[in-house]
Amino acid sequence: MIKVRTRIAPSPTGQDLHIGNAYTALINYVVAKKNNGQFIIRVEDTDRTRLVEGSEQRILKSLEWLGIPHQEGPDIGGPFAPYRQSDRLPIYIKYAEELAEKGHAYYCFCTASRLEEMRKSQEANHQPPMYDGLCKKIPLEEAKKRIANGEKYVIRLNVPEEGTTTFHDLIRGDISFENKLIDDQVLIKSDGYPTYHLGVVVDDHIMEISHIIRGEEWISSTPKHILLYQFFGWEMPQIAHVSVLRNPDKSKLSKRKNPVWVSDYRVKGYLPEAMKNYMATMAWSYDGKELFSVDEMIAQFELKDVQTTAPVFDQEKLRWMNGEYIRKMNEDELIEKITAFDATVPKDSKDLMKKILPLVKERMKTLGEFESLADFFFVRPVAFERDIKKEMLQIAIDALSSVASWTHDAMEKAMRNASDKKDVKAKEVFMELRLAITGKTVGPPLLESLEVLGKEETLERLSLL
RNA sequence: GCCCCCAUCGUCUAGCGGUCUAGGACGACGCCUUCUCAAGGCGUAGAUCGCCGGUCCGAAUCCGGCUGGGGGUACCA
């Protein structure tokens, strides 16, 4: 039995966990769980220029919020610690030098300006922009001397000029690239940090990752990784590329056109279970079911069944699904969630919440929608959607004042009788009353709401108008 | 430009050569229910399966080309 170890390798270069990363995290987690394996987080913070303060912590927090737990990571350690690439620098240098000794990599002293000129002329001649191999000709000994003299350098992968590199993708099948089209990728940058390409390969090997599951934007750099595995003489893990998520206009999901941070969804009041369920349906379909749990997914999931087409992230369907989860949730839990989420709900209002919830539960699709639906239970309305028709309202006031038992049935009878007597439509009286009590024209069932508010508060509100 | 990936209702998808006059879900629309809005129930519209060839008795399903979309082409990840 092979040990299954999966991982995500986020870069702390954004505000929070990108929804696309959350998506691949889910799949990696499910694959690991399904095989009783481990799911690992490794932070790839090798681009010092794009580091964002606090990003790593927020990524970890969002993963936790989503309920995608990891067994090893920068926060909890593990047998292959450290799990942050900036803490592993000597390892990459060592392996890159080993490659250089074997002739599978070489030192390059080209300046940024020479590279730029080179690219410009290649572009002008309609040639693929890639490194021309100038420094490949420098003998190793000479290169070492130049380095000893303090010259700035990078280490480049020495890609063979002939042949093709092929790999088997678990969800897409065989994919090949001609070697002559593969660039001599920089492995170690002049600041001594590895590039992604060296970093992932070395760490995935050392950390015994068995399945690399990542976004399809990596497909074209995979041959470089394959070559590295071959040069090191390491066994290649299984590999699979999931589709990128897209904006409604089909371009790669971007923050300009769509909320992309997990925190965006958290602050709107989406539930982690709904998020995971929705992400799962984008990756894969389960027997025609729309609603299923992560456990069900773990039981049924097969990597080979993952969608190959890049899905549009549909906010509307997510909202619908979130509503389904809210309606399904048990009351105490929902009350707890709303109270924690909505700052306008007093912490000690559990009894009141128990009465309110049945009236609003099926009307809210996110926790964030509770406030506009139920705020009037906590505070008297100060603004009104439109002017109230006072004559109509008076009918309601008179009717309610004379109601003996404060139940919605009794109130309804009184309201309708009074309306009939005045020869006006009960509907309209109800609407003016709703407006007076809640400030709005839409909301939870009126009479049931009045029951919760109580006769005293109801009549007092009306008397103030 | 070059390389690679992908292609079924607006969106997510089912479909693995005959059972498809293409099924489901979201969304849209209509009706029922109704004090508003939802939820729920019922129903309607919506896909000549991107196009063209080929294989086959038979193709959404297999093959090729084209077109379209996407991704990549950095000392970013």
Same domain, A198 and A102: yes
Decide if pLDDT at A232 tops 80: yes
Look at residue A172 and tell me if it is in a domain.
Answer: yes
Look at residue A255 and tell me if it is in a domain.
Answer: yes
Summarize the confidence of residues A306-326 as an average pLDDT.
96
* A43-67: burial string, b at 16+ Cβ within 10 Å, e else: bbbbeeeeeeeebbebbbbbbebbe
Decide if pLDDT at A1 tops 70: no
Same domain, A44 and A4: yes
The pLDDT assigned to A465 comes to 80
Same domain, A339 and A405: no
The span from the CA of A447 to the CA of A203, in Å, is 64
Residues of A catalogued as catalytic: 255
The pLDDT assigned to A187 comes to 98
Nearest nucleotide, C1' to the C-alpha of A49? B76
The pLDDT assigned to A79 comes to 98
Same domain, A321 and A333: no
The domain boundary residue, chosen from A219, A242, A265: A242
Can you give the distance from the CA of residue A305 to the C1' of nucleotide B1 in angstroms?
A: 35
Summarize the confidence of residues A330-348 as an average pLDDT.
95
What proportion of chain A, given as a percentage, has pLDDT over 70?
A: 100
Summarize the confidence of residues A3-23 as an average pLDDT.
97
Decide if pLDDT at A395 tops 90: yes
- Six-digit token pair at A140? 């190793």
The domain boundary residue, chosen from A242, A273, A290: A242
pLDDT in tens, A122-131: 888 888 889 9
Can you give the distance from the CA of residue A288 to the C1' of nucleotide B19 in angstroms?
A: 19
Look at residue A20 and tell me if it is in a domain.
Answer: yes
Nearest nucleotide, C1' to the C-alpha of A85? B77
The pLDDT assigned to A77 comes to 96
Measure the CA dihedral A111/A115/A121/A126, to 10°: 170
Summarize the confidence of residues A210-230 as an average pLDDT.
97
The pLDDT assigned to A252 comes to 87
Nearest nucleotide, C1' to the C-alpha of A175? B4
Can you give the distance from the CA of residue A198 to the C1' of nucleotide B76 in angstroms?
A: 14
Q: Are A341 and A333 in contact (CB under 8 A)?
A: no
Q: Which domain holds residue A47?
A: 1-73+243-328
The pLDDT assigned to A420 comes to 94
Give the amino acid at A22.
A
Can you give the distance from the CA of residue A385 to the C1' of nucleotide B33 in angstroms?
A: 27
Look at residue A232 and tell me if it is in a domain.
Answer: yes
Same domain, A296 and A166: no
State the nearest residue by CA to the C1' of B14: A288
The pLDDT assigned to A36 comes to 97
State the nearest residue by CA to the C1' of B16: A305
CATH number at residue A439: 1.10.10.350
The domain boundary residue, chosen from A342, A358, A374: A374
Same domain, A302 and A395: no
Same domain, A21 and A31: yes
The pLDDT assigned to A126 comes to 81
Look at residue A113 and tell me if it is in a domain.
Answer: yes
- Six-digit token pair at A439? 């400030």
Same domain, A147 and A228: yes
Summarize the confidence of residues A321-344 as an average pLDDT.
96
Q: Are A296 and A286 in contact (CB under 8 A)?
A: yes
pLDDT in tens, A294-313: 999 999 999 999 999 999 99
The span from the CA of A62 to the CA of A180, in Å, is 42
Same domain, A253 and A238: no
Same domain, A140 and A253: no
The span from the CA of A232 to the CA of A254, in Å, is 36
CATH number at residue A142: 3.40.50.620
Summarize the confidence of residues A209-236 as an average pLDDT.
97
The closest alpha carbon to A193, from A202, A184, A206, A205, belongs to A202
Give the count of domains, chain A.
4
pLDDT in tens, A115-167: 999 998 888 888 888 999 999 999 999 999 999 999 999 999 999 999 999 99
- Six-digit token pair at A458? 């109801």
Alpha carbon separation from A435 to A20, A270, A361, A384, A391 (Å, rounded):
43, 29, 21, 7, 14
Nearest nucleotide, C1' to the C-alpha of A110? B75
Look at residue A82 and tell me if it is in a domain.
Answer: no
Give every CB contact of residue A103 below 8 A, 6+ residues apart in sequence: A140, A158
Same domain, A271 and A389: no
Same domain, A257 and A236: no
Can you give the distance from the CA of residue A85 to the C1' of nucleotide B21 in angstroms?
A: 60
Task: For the full predicted model, state whether its pTM sits above 0.90.
Answer: yes
The band of A385, judged by pLDDT with boundaries at 50, 70 and 90, is very high
Q: Which ipTM was obtained for this model? A: 0.95
Q: Are A210 and A5 in contact (CB under 8 A)?
A: yes
What proportion of chain A, given as a percentage, has pLDDT over 90?
A: 94
In chain B, which nucleotides are within 7 Å of a protein Cβ? Answer: 1-8, 10-16, 23-27, 35-40, 69-77
Look at residue A66 and tell me if it is in a domain.
Answer: yes
The pLDDT assigned to A128 comes to 82
Q: Are A72 and A79 in contact (CB under 8 A)?
A: yes
Look at residue A226 and tell me if it is in a domain.
Answer: yes
